[in-house]
A and B are shown apart, each in its own frame.
Chain A
Amino acid sequence: MNFLFTDEQLELRAAVRGFLAGKSAEPAVRRLMATEAGYDPAVWQQLSDQLGLPGLAVPEEYEGAGFGYLELGVVFEEMGRALLCAPYLATVALAAEALLRCADEAARKDLLPGLATGRTIGTLALLEQAGRWDEAGVRTRAHRSGANGSGWVLDGSKRYVLDGHIADLIMVGARTPAGVALFAVDGSAPGLTRTAVPTLDQTRKQAHLEFAGTPARLIGDEADGWRVIRRVLDTAAILQAAEQAGGAARAAEMAAGYAGMRVQFGRPIGSFQAVKHMCADMLTEAEAARSAAYYGLWALAGDTGDVPLAASLAKVYCSSAFCRIAGDALQVHGGIGFTWEHPVHLYLKRAKGSEAMFGTPAYHRDLLAARLGLEA
C-alpha cells in the first residue's frame, strides 16, 4: 500500500479544483450561506451532469460512474478547501452509501439512480434529542400499517439532520420490534414536519424532523438496519475527514499567505519566528491530517477489516487538527481574522460544525481505547 494517487486521480483533483474555483469562490459561498436552501441548484446540476460527482462511486448499473472511494476522497478534499455549499456529504456519504450497503436490491434499483445522477437529494436522519451516535440512541418507532400490515409508519423526532430541509429522500434509522431498521421516507411525505435550523457553520444546513404516522419504506431486513448504519457512519466519518483535511490545508495556506504579505515593524510578520513557526506547525498538522484521511480512504477502497478503526482514527485526528489549524489561522490574521468580512472564520466554523458530526472525537477515542484493550 503506497497511498499514491494515480495520474487519473490527480487529473480528477485538478478538474474539481478548477470547477470549484469558478463555482464556489468566496462570493458564491457567502451568497449561498445566507439562503435557507443553502445551495445553488444550477451548480448542483452542473456538478452532476458535467462532472458526475454524486454518482462517482456508484456502480454503473445504478447510473453511477463506477469509480471508488479514492476518487470520492479526492472530491471531498477539494470541496473542503472550497467550502462548497451543497448537499453532497448528505447525498453521497449518507443516503447513497446506505443504499449501497443495504441488502435490498429492489430499493437500490428504485432509489440509487436518482441520487447518483443528482436528480434526488438525500440524507440520513439518525440523531435524536439525546445526541447519541450509537444504536441505543435510536428511539423513533416504526409500526406496521395498512390493511394487511404490509406498510410502515414512523413516529418520533430526529435532530441535526444534514440538509434535512431540502432532502427528497430521507433514510431514517427507527426501532421495530425486531431491532433498529433502516427506512426510506419521501421528503414530501404526509406526517413529516421539517424545520430548518440556523447553523453555526452557515455553509452547511440542518433541519429537525418530526414524524407523526409518516409512511416509510422498509429497506432490507427489520433487524439489519444498524449494521448498515454503522458502516455508513464509518464511511461518512472517513469522507468527511478528507473534507476536513482539505479545509485544514486551505486554512493553513491562508495563514501563510497572509503572514507573507502583512507588514508590521517594517517587515512581513511571517519573517518573525513566532509567526513562521506557527505556520510550519499548521502545515505539519495539515499533512498528518491528510495521512489520517488517506488511511481511511485506502481502508474503504480495499474494504479491509480496518474500516471501523480507520474511521475512528481519521475522525479523531482530522476533527481535532482542523479545529486547531483554523483557530491558529485566525490568530495569524490578527484583528482582521475576527471580522465577518474576512473568510477565515468560515473555516473555523466549518471545523466546529463538523467536529461532533458522526460522533465526537472523545467518543471515537473511547472506541479506539476499547479496540486497543485500554478499558479500565
Chain B
Amino acid sequence: MDIEIRPEDQAFADEVREWLDSHLTGEFAAHRGVGGPDDSAAWDVRLRWEKELSAGGWLGLTWPPEYGGRGATLAQAIIFEYLYARAQAPYRVGVQGQDLFGPTLLMFGTPEQKARFLPKILAAEEFWGQGFSEPDAGSDLASVRTRATLDGGEWVLDGQKIWMTFGTSADWMYVLCRTDPGSSRHHGLSLLLVPARQPGVQIRPITNLLGEGEFCEVFFTGARTRADLVLGAPGDGWKVAMAALGVERGTLLMPQQLGFEREAEHVLELARGRSLSGGPSLGGPALGGLSHRLVDAWIAVRLMRVTALRTIGELVAGRAPGAQAATSKLYASIQHQRLLELATELLAEDMTVTGAGYALESLPRAFLLSRAETIYGGSSQIQRNIIGERVLGLPREPR
C-alpha cells in the first residue's frame, strides 16, 4: 500500500533516490529524522542541508523555473517528498517560506514581488514568518488590530502578533494588518510584506511546554515597509490570508504519515516488550486492557495512510478532492494524540522522569508536541465548524 509512481515519473524517482543516497551523508545522515514543523532542533546543520538541497535544485519543485523552481508536476513533488521522508532527511527549516508563503505569493504576487522574493526562498537565503494571530485574534482571526497607515511611500505598522513559528530566524514576515482605520472584521485588511530586521520590529521567543522557544511574539512600533509590498490589493488581506491558510499541502501528506507510522511501530515495540516482560506497572503479565486500544490506534494510523493516498490519487488525477480531504486533519491530529497517550501509559514510570535540563526521550517529546496539533492550523473546534459549514452546508452561527 504505497504511493503510485507512474512509468513517466520513474526516471525522476530514480534521480531523487540517487541524489539522496549520495548527499544524505556525514553530518546530514547523522541528523536523520531531526526536526519538525515546530521543532528547531539542530538548526545549523539543517540550514546547511537546506543549502545542499537548494544547490541540487530540490526546493520549490513545482515553482516556475523563472523563479528558481524546477517546473515539476504535482505528482513528482509528491514522489520527492515521499522519498525524502522515507530517507528520513532532516526536516526542512524553510517550510514556512517554501510551503506556506511561497505558494501564496505565486497566487497573488506581482511579477516584481515574485522575482524579488521567490528565488531567495529557494536559495535558502531568506526565511519567512507568518504574522496572522494576535493575542486577541486567534481562532477569530478577523478581529486583528495591528494597524498600518501609509506615510509617504511607506506603510507604518503598530501592533502585536503572536505564535510566529521560527520567528527569531525570520528575515521577512507577511503580516495581516488593518489598513482602513474605520473598518471592522474581514473588511479593510491588507497583507503586508515586512522586513523583520529593523528597529520597529521586536521579536521575542515564547517558551513552549517543552521548555523550548520555537514560536515568537512580535511587536511592531512604527515598523516600516515599502508601499508596494502589499500582497494582493490593499483591502484584500482577508481573501489573501484565507488562501494562504488553504494552500493545498497534498505533498506533505505522506511525509507526515511516515512519521506517524514510525511512532506507531515504536509504540508497538514498547508494548511487545511489556507483554513479554510483564512489567509490573501494567498490573500483571499481560497488556491488560491496553491491547485493544493499541489495535485501535494502529488501525487509525493505517486508515490515515489510506485516506492520504485517496486524496493524493484525486489530486494527481486532477479530480476535486473528496470530503476526506476536509476531515483528515481533524482525524489525524486527534488519533495521533491518542497513540501518544497510549505510549505514555506504556512508558508508565519512565514517563514520569526526564534527563538533565528537561531533556525528553522521543515518545514523551512527541506526546507533548502532539498537543499543538489540535490547535495550530485551525483548532479542532474550528475544523468542525469548517466541516459543518463548508462541507455539510450547515448554517453559520450568528456572529
Which of the residues A4, A256, A374 comes within 8 Å of B268, measured between beta carbons? A374
Which of the residues A4, A317, A375 comes within 8 Å of B303, measured between beta carbons? A317
Q: Cβ of A268 and Cβ of B394 under 8 Å apart? A: yes
Say yes or no for B10: interface residue by CB 8 A criterion. Answer: no
Which of the residues A281, A287, A376 comes within 8 Å of B324, measured between beta carbons? A287
Q: How large is the interface on B (under 10, 10 to 19, 20 to 34, 35 or more residues)?
A: 35 or more
Q: Interface code B66-108, partner A: CB below 8 Å = 1, 0 otherwise? A: 0000000000000000000000000000000000000000000
Residues of A within 8 A of B397 (CB): 271-273, 276
Main secondary structure of the interface of B (DSSP, over half): helix
Which of the residues A3, A281, A362, A376 comes within 8 Å of B384, measured between beta carbons? A281
Say yes or no for B62: interface residue by CB 8 A criterion. Answer: no
CA distance A313 to B303 in the complex (A): 9
Closest approach, in angstroms, between the C-beta of A276 and any C-beta of chain B?
Answer: 4
Segment of A52-60, A77-85, A162-170, A289-297 in the binding face: A289-297
Q: Interface code A252-264, partner B: CB below 8 Å = 1, 0 otherwise? A: 0000100110000
Q: Cβ of B272 and Cβ of A283 under 8 Å apart? A: no
Closest approach, in angstroms, between the C-beta of A285 and any C-beta of chain B?
Answer: 8
How many residues on A have C-beta within 8 angstroms of the other chain's C-beta atoms?
A: 41
Segment of A178-186, A191-199, A228-236, A365-373 in the binding face: A365-373
Q: Cβ of B395 and Cβ of A256 under 8 Å apart? A: no
Q: Cβ of A292 and Cβ of B306 under 8 Å apart? A: yes
CA distance A272 to B398 in the complex (A): 9
Say yes or no for B54: interface residue by CB 8 A criterion. Answer: no
Q: B302, B385, B398 — which one has the most chain A CB atoms within 10 A of its CB?
A: B302
Q: Cβ of A374 and Cβ of B303 under 8 Å apart? A: no
Say yes or no for B206: interface residue by CB 8 A criterion. Answer: no
Known: A365-B292, A369-B292. A270 touches B299 (CB 8 A): no
Q: Cβ of B396 and Cβ of A295 under 8 Å apart? A: no
Closest approach, in angstroms, between the C-beta of B171 and any C-beta of chain A?
Answer: 38
CA distance A372 to B267 in the complex (A): 11
Residues of A within 8 A of B398 (CB): 267, 271
Q: Which A-chain residue is minimally distant from B386 (CB atoms)? A: A280
Residues of B within 8 A of A374 (CB): 268, 271-272, 275, 287, 291, 294-295
Segment of B243-251, B310-318, B348-356 in the binding face: B310-318
Residues of A within 8 A of B309 (CB): 1-3
Say yes or no for A288: interface residue by CB 8 A criterion. Answer: yes
CA distance A190 to B302 in the complex (A): 49
Closest approach, in angstroms, between the C-beta of B1 and any C-beta of chain A?
Answer: 5
Q: Cβ of A2 and Cβ of B391 under 8 Å apart? A: no
Q: Cβ of A280 and Cβ of B387 under 8 Å apart? A: yes
Q: Cβ of B306 and Cβ of A3 under 8 Å apart? A: yes
Say yes or no for B298: interface residue by CB 8 A criterion. Answer: yes
Say yes or no for B320: interface residue by CB 8 A criterion. Answer: no
Known: A270-B394, A374-B268. A276 touches B384 (CB 8 A): yes
Q: Cβ of A279 and Cβ of B394 under 8 Å apart? A: yes
Q: Interface code B351-371, partner A: CB below 8 Å = 1, 0 otherwise? A: 000000000000000000000
Residues of B within 8 A of A100 (CB): none
- Can you offer 8 A-B residue contacts whose CB atoms are under 8 A? A2-B3, A271-B397, A280-B330, A280-B387, A280-B392, A284-B327, A294-B306, A374-B271
Give 11 A-B pairs besides A280-B392, A295-B306 with Cβ atoms closer than 8 angstroms: A1-B2, A1-B309, A3-B309, A4-B314, A260-B393, A270-B394, A273-B397, A279-B392, A288-B331, A292-B306, A374-B291
